[in-house]
Amino acid sequence: MTPLERAEARFGWKLVAPTIAILGLLILYPLMYNVYLSFFDVQLNGSKTFVGIENYIKLLSNSDYYSAIATTSLYLLGTVVGTTLLGLAMALLLRDPFMGRGLVNAAIMLPYVAPVISVVFGWQFLFDPISGVVNYLFVDLLGLWSERSNLIGDPDSALWVVVLFDIWKHAPIAYLLILSKLVSISRDQYEAAAIDGYGPIGRFFHVTLPELYFVLATVVLLRLIWNLNRFEDVYLLAPNVETLPIFTYYQAFTGVIDQGLAAATSVIQLGVLSIFIWFYIKKIMKW
Amino acid sequence: MAAIKLKNIVKSFGDTAVVKGIDLSIEDGEFVVLVGPSGCGKSTTLRMIAGLEQATSGDIVIGERVVNDIEPQHRNIAMVFQNYALYPHKSVRENIIFALRRLKVDNADIERRLAEVSEMLQLEELLDRKPADLSGGQRQRVAMGRAIIREADLFLFDEPLSNLDSKLRSHMRTEIGKIHNKFGRTSVYVTHDQVEAMTLADKVVVLHDGYIAQAGTPMEVYLNPANVFVAQFIGSPSMNIIEGTLFNDYLLVDNYRLPRKQLSNVALQTVIDQQGIPVKVGIRPDFFNDSRLFPETDNTFNFTGLQIDLIEPMGFDKEVLFNLAGEAVKARLDLRSELQRDQQIDLVVELSRVLLFDSETDQRL
C-alpha cells in the first residue's frame, strides 16, 4: 500500500465506523442473543434455564413445524415464479416506447408503493364471501363455482390468495429491475441475430435471455430472501397461513409462550437464509 | 448468388426524408461501394437491403424475389456491422457458427467450414474466447468470419473498418478485397472513406443528400465526375474548383487563356457570345506537373509564374499550395521537384484533364 492508499483506507474506516457500530448494536447483538436464547428454556418473568439442544429436538419432532416448512416452500415457489414471470412479461411488453407508457408505468408501480395495510383491507373486501366481488364474479356472473366460499378463511385456499397478493404487490419491482436491463441491450445484437436467420423466438432465447441472466438470478434470489422472512403481508391478509415467520411468531408470543423454541426456529431460518445470501453473493454477483 | 435491384427507394423517418429516391442495379457477383458523407443515406439504404429498415416506398428485388415484406432472417444475407455486434455470451466459435446452427447444417460440415474460415482469418487460437477478451481487430475478424461462413447470397458491410486504426484498416481492406475475389459474392459495402471505395469497388455509388450523385467504376467517377460534389468527394487531396469564364475560343482562368479547342473532356460545344459564360473549372492536384520535368506539348497548358504559398512534404509526394483566381489551389508534385516557399513555379496541365462545371447547377459541362 502506498502512503496515499493507507490514508484513504484510514479515512474509509472512519466513515464506516458509525454504521458498523449501529449495525452491531441493532442487528448483530440481537442476532447473537437470539442464538443464545435458543439454548434456554425462557420464562416470561425473564428467568432462563439452560437446556442445551432440547429446543431443537422439540422443534424437529413437532409436525406443525414441518407443515410450516411445506407452506413456506409453496409460498416461496408460487411467489418467486409468479413475480419473476409476470415482471418479465410486463417488461417485454412495455419495452418499446408508446403513447402513455408513463401512465402505464405508474399504474404498474402503484401496488408496490401502496401501504400494505390499506391494500390488505382492499383484498379482504374483494374476497369477502358475502359482498366480495370475486365470489360475485365466479358464482353469480360466470357460474364457475356452485357456491360462495370463504377463500381467505380456509387455510388451504388462503395460501393461494396470499401468493396471488404477493405476486400482485411485488411483480413491479421485478418488472423495474428486468426492464432497466432490457432497454440497455444493444439493438445491434438483435439485428445480427435476425441476419443470422433467427426469428423473434430465437432472438429471445439467444439474445434477450442470456443478457437477462444476471438480473433474473438477482430477482429470484432477492425474492427468496425477502419472502423467507415475509411476515406482515401474510399475517395481515390471512393469519391462518402458517409460513415460518408466522409459526415463529405464534410460538413466541401467543398461547403457550415458548421463546426458546421460537428462537431455535429463527436460528434455523437464519441458517437457510445465510445459504441463500452466500449463494447470491458468490455465484450471482461473483464477488 | 443474387443480383439486386432498387427501384425508386424512398425512406423517411417521420417528416425527415433520408433516402429520396434511389434507383440502382447491382449485378450478380459485383462489389458495390456506397460512399458519401454522413447523413447522405448510405447506411439507411444498406439497412433496407438487409431488411432492418422498411422502405417508405419503392421496391427492393434480390435475385428474383421482391423482398419488401420479407424479414431479414428470410433474405439469406450476411452482414458485417460497424460495431461488429458479436454475441457477448457466446464464444468466438459459437458466434461464427450461430447462423449454421439455425440452418441445421450437419456437424461435420460445420467443423469443416469453421476450420476453413478460422484459418483464413487466423482465428484458430481465439475460438474459445469470449468477445470481451478480444482486441478491436480480432473482433472485426470474428465478425467477418461470421459473415463468410454463411455462404450467403449477399454480403453487406456497414462501415466495417471505421473502428480500426489506420494500419489495421488498410490491412483488412486488402483482406476484404481478397475474400471477395475468392468467393465472388454480390457485396454491398458502405463507407465514408473514398479510399476504401476506390480500392474495393467494381462500382462506386456516390450518395449525396438522399440521392445518387453518380454511379460508375472507380476510374469513371475519378476521371469524369458528374458534378462538383462527386469531383470533390472522390480523390485525395480533393479536386481544385476555380472560378473561370468560358469564351468562344478560350477559357479564362485568372489571366491565363486556355484554348477551348483542346479541352477535349468538355461536352459543351455551342457558340458562346462575347461576354462569355461563368464556369467552375476543376483540376485535380495530381494533374499538375512541374514544367521543368514535363515538356510542354500542343495538348498541355503552362500556368507560368505561380507564387508558392505553402509546401507540405509527404515523403514521396509533396502538396504545393498557390493562389489562382483568388482560390487556394493545390498541386501534388513528387520528390524530383525541389521547391521553396515564396519561389515561383511553372505548372503544366494536360488540357484533356481540365473539367468544366456549370456555375449555377454544379453539373458537368
Structure confidence by residue, pLDDT tens digits, B309-332: 999 999 999 999 999 988 899 999
Kind of pairing, strands B77-80 and B300-313? Answer: unpaired
Please spell the DSSP secondary structure of A28-42, one letter per residue.
Answer: IHHHHHHHHHTTEEE
CA distance, residue A43 to nearest chain B CA (Å): 58
Which residue carries 449495525 as its cell? A23
Model confidence band, residue B2 (pLDDT cutoffs 50, 70, 90)? confident
Q: Evaluate whether the domain defined by B240-358 bears CATH number 3.10.150.10.
A: no
Region B83-109: mean pLDDT is: 92
Cβ-nearest to A197 among B73, B83, B85: B73
Model confidence band, residue B168 (pLDDT cutoffs 50, 70, 90)? confident
User: Are the C-beta atoms of residues B9 and B32 closer than 8 Å to each other?
Assistant: no
Task: Please name the residues in contact with B135: beta carbons below 8 A apart, sequence gap of 6 or more.
Answer: none
Between A and B, how many residue pairs show a Cβ–Cβ distance under 8 A? 60
Decide if A204 touches B, using CB distance below 8 A.
Answer: no
Decide if B50 touches A, using CB distance below 8 A.
Answer: yes
CA dihedral B97, B100, B104, B106 (to 10 degrees): -60
- CB contact (8 A) between residue A196 and residue B73: yes
Domains within chain A, CATH numbers bracketed: 61-284 (1.10.3720.10)
- CB contact (8 A) between residue A193 and residue B77: no
- Residue B244 belongs to what H/E stretch? strand B240-246
Fold: same for B4-233 and B240-358: no
How far CA B57 is from CA of A261, B4, B46, B63, B71, in Å, comes to 76, 17, 15, 19, 16
- CB contact (8 A) between residue A197 and residue B52: no
Q: Which one-letter DSSP state was computed for residue B21? A: E
* Between residues A58 and A178, the one the model is more confident about: A178
Indicate the residue type of B128. D
Burial class (CB in 10 A: 0-12, 13-18, 19+), B124: exposed
Closest Cα in chain B to A192: B85
B:9-48 residues touching chain A, CB 8 A cutoff: none
Q: At the top level of CATH, which class does the domain B4-233 belong to?
A: alpha beta
Decide if B79 touches A, using CB distance below 8 A.
Answer: yes
Q: So what's the pLDDT on residue A158?
A: 92
For residue A188, the chain B residues in CB contact (below 8 A) are: 81, 83, 85
Model confidence band, residue A280 (pLDDT cutoffs 50, 70, 90)? confident
- CB contact (8 A) between residue B78 and residue A192: no
User: Are the C-beta atoms of residues B12 and B58 closer than 8 Å to each other?
Assistant: no
Q: So what's the pLDDT on residue B298?
A: 83
- CB contact (8 A) between residue A194 and residue B71: yes
- CB contact (8 A) between residue B73 and residue A195: yes
- Residue B62 belongs to what H/E stretch? strand B57-62
Structure confidence by residue, pLDDT tens digits, A88-112: 999 999 988 889 988 999 999 999 9
Structure confidence by residue, pLDDT tens digits, B233-284: 998 899 999 999 999 999 999 889 999 988 888 888 888 888 889 999 999 9
Sheet of B16-26, strand order: B16-26, B4-13, B57-62, B65-66
Sheet of B277-283, strand order: B256-259, B250-253, B240-246, B277-283, B355-358
Closest Cα in chain B to A207: B87
Closest Cα in chain A to B100: A196
CA distance, residue A104 to nearest chain B CA (Å): 25
pLDDT cut 70: percent of chain A above it: 100
- CB-hemisphere CA count at 13 Å for B143? 30
For residue B86, the chain A residues in CB contact (below 8 A) are: 192
Task: Please name the residues in contact with B143: beta carbons below 8 A apart, sequence gap of 6 or more.
Answer: B80, B81, B84, B85, B86, B160
Decide if A196 touches B, using CB distance below 8 A.
Answer: yes
Average pLDDT score over chain A: 90
d(CA A59, CA A74): 20
User: Are the C-beta atoms of residues B230 and B357 closer than 8 Å to each other?
Assistant: no
Q: So what's the pLDDT on residue A162?
A: 94
For residue A209, the chain B residues in CB contact (below 8 A) are: none
For residue A210, the chain B residues in CB contact (below 8 A) are: 87-89
pLDDT at A287 over 80: no
* Helix residue spans in chain A (DSSP H): 3-23, 29-37, 54-60, 63-93, 101-113, 116-126, 133-135, 155-182, 187-195, 200-203, 209-228, 232-237, 244-253, 259-279
d(CA B258, CA B266): 13
CA distance, residue A107 to nearest chain B CA (Å): 30
Decide if B54 touches A, using CB distance below 8 A.
Answer: no
Structure confidence by residue, pLDDT tens digits, A124-172: 999 988 888 888 888 888 888 888 888 888 888 899 999 999 999 999 9
- CB contact (8 A) between residue B98 and residue A210: no
- CB contact (8 A) between residue B73 and residue A191: no
d(CA B122, CA B334): 38
d(CA A232, CA A274): 21
- CB contact (8 A) between residue B52 and residue A202: no
Task: Please name the residues in contact with B306: beta carbons below 8 A apart, sequence gap of 6 or more.
Answer: B322, B323, B324, B344, B345, B346, B347
For residue A198, the chain B residues in CB contact (below 8 A) are: 73, 102
pLDDT at A286 over 80: no
Model confidence band, residue B1 (pLDDT cutoffs 50, 70, 90)? low
* Residue of A195, A207, A213 for testing the chain B interface, max B β-carbons within 10 Å: A195
Domains of chain B, residue spans: 4-233, 240-358
User: Are the C-beta atoms of residues B146 and B127 closer than 8 Å to each other?
Assistant: no
Decide if B85 touches A, using CB distance below 8 A.
Answer: yes
ipTM: 0.84
Model confidence band, residue A7 (pLDDT cutoffs 50, 70, 90)? very high
Q: So what's the pLDDT on residue B51?
A: 93
- CB contact (8 A) between residue B98 and residue A189: no
Structure confidence by residue, pLDDT tens digits, A183-214: 999 999 999 999 999 999 999 999 999 999 98
Average pLDDT score over chain B: 91
d(CA B210, CA B18): 5
Decide if B99 touches A, using CB distance below 8 A.
Answer: yes
Kind of pairing, strands B240-246 and B277-283? Answer: antiparallel
Q: Which one-letter DSSP state was computed for residue B124? A: G
Structure confidence by residue, pLDDT tens digits, B52-76: 999 999 999 998 899 999 999 999 9
Region B174-199: mean pLDDT is: 91
